[in-house]
Amino acid sequence: MQMKFLSLALFANLIAATGAHATLDTPQLPDNGYSKAVFDVSHGWDAHKEPAPGIMILAASSGHGTDHAAMNQPGYTVGDLVITNVRAGATVPKAPVAGGYMVIKNNGSASDFLIGGQAAFAGDVQIHEMKLQGDVMKMRELADGLEIPAGGEVMLQPGGYHVMFMKLSEPLKEGENRKATLTFKNAGSVEVEFAVKSRKDLKSHGMGHSGHGSSN
């Protein structure tokens, strides 16, 4: 828990430091010609250098029971990676997109990258990073994938990194389990099941406040 509070405090500081200037930028709606590199227009936010707020990258040796430990769901193993707490947000009918979340631990000695995936219920699966900068929500596609550092653990959770299911063919309903394939640059592909959770459950799990993860 201490680590969590530390991370929340860092989050607050980051928000304070990166702060309000974004909100007073001149708003604009480029009508075309926005095909330049995504990071050119990110107002100083470099997703590769600055982790998104709320994201914890825990050292594998931290020894803490993490939130996912209590999920009654098996982990998935592909290469040196262990994937747990695989869940997705329930959507309202006609919602075009949904977010997928999980914890990925890398027991290997080299970095790997989550680069994409496939799902029967989505026309496209991308890896995104969301970040609240001041009061502006920003989202970026991680074109080179999400790095899972050697010996490290990365959480995909509401407010940060997520799998973005796009062009949904049907809503995701709470309580369902939805199969999808995740693809890693080095480890290859693995089929996992996303447990569809209500927004509320998703949030409490993701933020680690609910105590759901403390059964160990």
Partner 1 sequence: MSALHRRMGIWAASAALVLAGGFVWLATTDAPQQIAQRVVQSSGIGQPFNLVDHNGNPITEKAFEGSPTAVFFGFTHCPEVCPTTLYEISAWLKTLGPEGMPIKAFFITVDPERDTPEIMKSYVSNFTDRIIGITGKPDDIASLARSWHVYWKKIPLESGDYTMDHTASVFLIDAEGNFKSTIAFRENTDTAVAKLRKLVSPSS
The residue (of 43 and 59) whose beta carbon lies closer to partner 1 is 43
The residue (of 110 and 139) whose beta carbon lies closer to partner 1 is 139
Kindly write down the DSSP assignment for every residue of 117-150, as one continuous string.
EEBTTEEEEEEEEEEEETTEEEEEE-TT-EEE-T
The residue (of 44 and 175) whose beta carbon lies closer to partner 1 is 44
The residue (of 87 and 140) whose beta carbon lies closer to partner 1 is 140
Identity (one letter) of the amino acid at 195? Answer: A
Does 128 bind partner 1 (CB under 8 A)? Our answer is yes
The residue (of 156 and 192) whose beta carbon lies closer to partner 1 is 156
Nearest approach, Cβ of 65 to partner 1 (angstroms)?
A: 25
Binding mask 165-184 for partner 1 (x = CB under 8 A): -x------------------
Total interface residues for partner 1 by CB under 8 A: 51
Does 124 bind partner 1 (CB under 8 A)? Our answer is yes
CA distance 144 to 47: 11
Binding mask 130-159 for partner 1 (x = CB under 8 A): x-x-xxxxxxxx-x--------------xx
> What single-letter DSSP state applies at residue 171?
P
The residue (of 60 and 143) whose beta carbon lies closer to partner 1 is 143
C-alpha distances in Å from residue 85, one per residue of 122, 186, 215: 20, 21, 14
Nearest approach, Cβ of 107 to partner 1 (angstroms)?
A: 29
Of 77-96, which residues contact partner 1 (CB under 8 A)?
A: 89, 91-96
Do the Cβ atoms of 208 and 70 come closer than 8 Å? no
Beta carbons within 10 angstroms of residue 9's beta carbon:
10
Q: In this structure, is the dihedral angle defined by the CA atoms of residues 58, 61, 65 and 68, taken in order, positive or negative? A: positive
Using alpha carbons only, give the angle 60, 66, 69 rounded to the nearest 5 degrees: 110
CA distance 42 to 75: 35
Q: Which residues bind partner 1 (CB under 8 A)?
A: 17-25, 27-31, 34-36, 38, 41, 44, 89, 91-99, 124, 126, 128, 130, 132, 134-141, 143, 158-159, 162, 164, 166, 199, 203
